[in-house]
Structures are given as structure tokens and as C-alpha cells.
């Protein structure tokens, strides 16, 4: 029995569907009528027509603010000044994970509500009350938490269907870890992001996230390649965005995310996405946990089937020197990192050993697949 209250947190409203951006105005109007819209070039472009039409219908003024590319303190400060100068009363993110994280931080700094319109389903950041803050050079700085979750998350699956397949697959990597990290937190009694014990609801959603990916992942990849919205794509987008977001935040994370943070120390991995690094980190976590071989094999096989990395080479770290890998392991094992949520003590040595074994297993599996066996 825990002596901490059970806490479950979530965004105020979640909307998903093909053409949903045309409904943006009706959902934003209760939040504000003068919006600062933050996004990269593509994120702004693919939502512009729908936003303009919807905002005209609902009397909402908008100022587009091109995102500088890094969710850094400098970028957050720049956009916060712009929000204040334009007298904005709501912040909207249109883009991927870093633009979303920046918009959440800007809204928090300016004391404004925030709406999230992800244009890729590449990670579970849209629903959460936190942002990953990076330094200007792209290295991980910290996790910044906020008092509340986004006021609105609106996902247009027609936009997602036209996004790069790699981004959808990356989101699967982030989402795939949700159940396994939640399970570790349940076993250890770790508290979730909001400082509460894990509810049955959070645990069930985390497991549903994994099951949804296993059942629909390959078909969703095929749909994204064809730029069409199908039931499989809809389900995976929900898993990547909502189920994973609720699951990780209300159930907790562990070594998979600790390693993803630590991998940012390696410049050779800066070209790889958060979800790709989380996916390999999950394999390392499962090896370290000593899960049954059939369970480990099923996760590896899923990764191979949808195109997630299963080796260090597939993360650009082929032949990485021992010193770099040691630094990664030491960083991931630091006190306060989510690796401490595992139900047993972890050290840099044990993480490094598991990383080596996970990479070897992945290379063996890749060789089998390449030989057509």
C-alpha cells in the first residue's frame, strides 16, 4: 500500500480526425481570440489553410511565429516577448515535438492557455505538462514541468497521413516504451510525473498503448506510405499521441528515457529522433531486466518490422569508442534520472553491459533478417 495519493493527469480536451484542423477555431475560441501560432516552416504550411478558414469563421486573430529549431531557453524567451508584444491571449503549436515543447514553455512563461496541433505523430509530447529543454547546441538540458496540461490537443489525421513515415515510426518507438516503463514503475513503487502513485487507469492505458501498436503498427506504416487515413493509422496516431502521453506521464518512465536523454551527449546521434533513441533504450532496459526471451524477441521483431533501430549502428554510433559509451551509461545512471525507477539498483557498469548485449542481439537479428531466414 502506498501512502501517496493516486494521481492521473491529462489534457482538458483531445480531438482527433481527418480534417480536424477545420474545427480548430471552435475549440480555440473558448481559450482566446488573439493567438500566437508557433511552428516550423512545414508545420505552419500544412495547417495554414485550415487555420485561416477556421479562424475567420470564429473571429480569431493570429500571429505566426516561425520556430527557430531548438526548444532552448533563448528561443522560449524570444517567443514569450513576442506573445507579450502582440498582446496574445492564447498560444498554439503547429508542428513537431520541439516546437510543441517550446510553445508549452512560452504559454507557461506568459501565463496563457495553450493548444497543441501536432503535424507529426512522432512522440507523446502533445498531451503532457512538461517540456524537454535543450541547449542551443542540441544537447539535453533538463525536463521542465508545468502546473497544468495543455488546454487542447487537436490532431488532424489527414495531415499526419501526409507526414514522413519516419516520424510516425519514431512515435511508435516512444510509445512502445510506455507499457514496459510503466510496468517497471509499478514494480518499484515509483511515483509518476505529478508525484502521485500510479492509478489502474494509467496502467491500463499504458498496456493498451503497447497492444495497439503490436496489432496495427505495420498496417499504419503502409497507410502513411500511401498517404491515406485508415483505421490502423487512426489507432496508431492515438497510441503515439494520447495513450502514450497519458501512460508515460501518469505511470512513469524508466531506463529507456534515461538513455534517450543520455544519448544526446553523443554528437553522432543528434540526427536521430527522440523515439528512435527511446526504442533502443527500451531494448537495453529489457535486457537489463532479464525479461523472458520470447518477450524480448517480440519487441525486437516489432522494431525490425516497422523500422525502429535495434543496434547502435542504426543510431549512427557504429564503432562508438568505449569512452563515449561509458559517458552515456554514467549519465543515464546518475541519481535523479528515470533509470532509478527500475525495481533494482542500476549502475553505469550494468547499463553499459546491457547496452553491449542489446546491440549484439540486434546485430544478430539484423543478420538473420538480411539473410532472408
Average pLDDT over residues 352-372: 81
Last residue of a domain, one of 133, 161, 189: 161
- CATH at 278: 1.20.1090.10
Boundary (domain end) residue, out of 161, 190, 215: 161
Distance CA 110, CA 320 (A): 42
Within a domain: 305: yes
Residue-wise pLDDT for 83-106, tens only, equals: 999 999 999 999 998 999 999 999
Mind listing the pLDDT tens digit for each residue in 287-343?
Answer: 999 999 999 999 999 999 999 999 999 999 987 788 999 999 999 999 999 999 999
Same domain flag for 134 and 220 = no
51 — pLDDT class (breaks 50, 70, 90): very high
Inside any domain, residue 4: no
Residue 132 and residue 209 in one domain: no
User: Could you list the residue range(s) of the whole structural domain that residue 44 is in?
Assistant: 14-161
Looking at the structure, tell me whether residues 93 and 172 fall in a common domain: no
Residues 153 and 226 in one domain: no
Same domain, 241 and 302: yes
- CATH classification at residue 35: 3.40.50.1970
Q: Is residue 52 part of a domain?
A: yes
Residue 363 has pLDDT above 60, yes or no: yes
Region 18-25 average pLDDT: 98
- Look at residue 45 in the predicted model and tell me its pLDDT: 97
Residue 101, exposed/middle/buried by CB under 10 A (0-12, 13-18, 19+)?
Answer: buried
Structural domain total, the chain: 2
Q: Do residues 240 and 122 touch, judged by C-beta distance below 8 A?
A: yes
Per DSSP bridges, beta strands 34-39 and 61-66 are parallel
- Write down the pLDDT at residue 265: 84
| Residue 1 maps to a domain | no
Q: Is residue 216 part of a domain?
A: yes
CA 92/CA 85 separation, integer angstroms? 16
152 in the same domain as 209: no
- Average pLDDT in the chain: 95
**pTM score, whole prediction:** 0.93
Largest CA distance in the chain: 62
pLDDT of residue 2: 55
pLDDT tens-digit readout, 65-84:
999 999 999 999 999 999 99
pLDDT value, residue 169: 98
**Domain check: are 58 and 44 in the same one?**
yes
CB-CB contact of 216 with 208 (8 Å):
no
3-state secondary structure the chain: CCCCCECCCCCCCEEEECCHHHHHHHHHCCCCCEEEEEECHHHHHHHHHHHHHHHHHHCCEEEEEECCCCCCHHHHHHHHHHHHHCCCCEEEEEECHHHHHHHHHHHHHHCCCEEEEECCCCCCHHHCCEEEEECCCCCEEEEEECCCCCCEEEEEHHHHHCCCHHHHHHHHHHHHHHHHHHHHHHHHCCCCCCCCECCHHHHHHHHHHHHHHHHHHHHHHHHHHCCCCCHHHHHHHHHHHHHHHHHHHHHCCCHHHHHHHHHCCCHHHCCCCHHHHHHHHHHHHHHHHCCCHHHHHHHHHHHHHHCCCCCCHHHCCCCCCHHHHHHHHHHHCCCCCHHHHCCCCCCHHHHHHHHHHHHHHHHHHHHHHHCCC
Q: Does residue 222 sit within a domain?
A: yes
Q: Mean pLDDT throughout 212-227? A: 98
Q: Is residue 372 over pLDDT 50? A: no
Same domain, 119 and 35: yes
* pLDDT at residue 369 is higher than 90: no
- Averaged over 243-256, what is the pLDDT? 96
Asked if residue 136 belongs to a domain, the reply is: yes
Question: Are 263 and 276 within one domain?
Answer: yes
Q: What is the pLDDT of residues 147-168, one digit of tens each?
A: 999 999 999 999 999 999 999 9
Question: In this structure, is residue 6 part of a structural domain?
Answer: no
Q: Same domain, yes or no, for 203 and 71?
A: no
pLDDT value at residue 65 = 97
Mean pLDDT of 280-290: 98
Same domain, 79 and 104: yes
Among 144, 161, 178, give the residue marking a domain's end: 161
Say if residue 215 is in the same domain as residue 357.
yes
Amino acid at each position: 500500500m502506498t501512502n501517496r495519493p493516486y494521481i492521473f493527469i491529462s489534457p482538458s480536451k483531445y480531438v482527433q480526425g481527418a480534417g480536424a484542423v477545420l474545427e480548430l477555431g471552435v475549440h480555440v475560441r473558448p481559450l482566446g481570440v488573439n493567438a500566437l501560432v508557433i511552428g516550423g516552416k512545414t508545420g505552419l504550411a500544412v495547417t495554414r489553410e485550415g487555420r485561416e478558414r477556421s479562424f475567420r469563421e470564429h473571429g480569431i486573430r493570429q500571429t505566426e511565429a516561425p520556430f527557430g529549431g531548438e526548444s532552448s531557453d533563448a528561443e522560449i524567451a524570444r517567443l514569450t516577448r513576442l506573445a507579450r508584444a502582440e498582446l496574445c491571449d492564447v498560444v498554439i503549436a503547429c508542428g513537431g515535438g520541439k516546437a510543441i515543447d517550446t510553445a508549452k514553455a512560452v504559454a507557461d512563461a506568459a501565463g496563457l492557455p495553450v493548444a497543441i496541433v501536432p503535424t507529426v505523430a512522432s512522440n507523446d509530447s502533445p498531451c503532457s505538462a512538461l517540456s524537454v529543454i535543450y541547449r542551443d547546441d542540441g544537447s539535453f538540458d533538463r525536463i521542465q514541468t508545468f502546473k497544468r496540461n495543455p488546454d487542447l490537443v487537436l490532431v488532424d489525421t489527414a495531415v499526419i497521413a501526409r507526414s514522413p513515415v519516419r516520424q510516425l515510426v519514431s512515435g511508435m518507438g516512444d510509445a512502445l516504451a510506455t507499457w514496459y516503463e510503466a510496468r517497471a514503475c509499478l514494480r518499484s513503487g515509483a511515483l509518476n510525473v505529478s508525484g502521485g502513485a500510479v492509478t489502474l487507469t494509467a496502467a491500463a492505458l499504458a498496456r493498451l498503448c503497447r497492444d495497439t501498436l503490436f496489432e496495427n503498427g505495420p498496417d499504419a506504416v503502409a497507410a502513411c506510405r500511401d498517404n491515406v487515413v485508415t483505421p490502423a493509422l487512426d489507432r496508431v496516431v492515438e497510441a503515439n499521441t494520447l495513450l502514450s502521453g497519458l501512460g508515460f506521464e501518469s505511470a512513469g518512465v524508466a531506463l529507456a528515457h534515461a538513455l534517450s536523454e543520455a544519448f544526446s551527449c553523443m554528437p553522432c546521434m543528434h540526427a536521430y529522433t527522440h523515439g528512435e533513441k527511446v526504442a533502443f533504450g527500451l531494448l537495453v532496459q529489457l535486457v537489463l531486466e532479464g525479461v523472458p526471451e520470447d518477450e524480448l524477441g517480440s519487441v525486437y521483431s516489432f522494431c525490425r518490422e516497422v523500422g525502429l533501430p535495434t543496434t547502435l549502428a542504426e543510431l549512427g554510433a557504429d564503432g562508438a569508442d568505449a569512452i563515449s559509451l561509458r559517458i552515456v551509461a554514467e549519465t543515464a545512471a546518475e541519481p535523479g534520472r528515470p533509470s532509478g525507477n527500475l525495481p533494482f539498483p542500476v549502475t553505469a557498469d550494468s547499463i553499459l553491459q546491457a547496452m553491449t548485449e542489446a546491440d549484439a542481439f540486434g546485430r544478430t537479428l539484423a543478420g538473420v533478417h538480411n539473410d532472408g531466414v
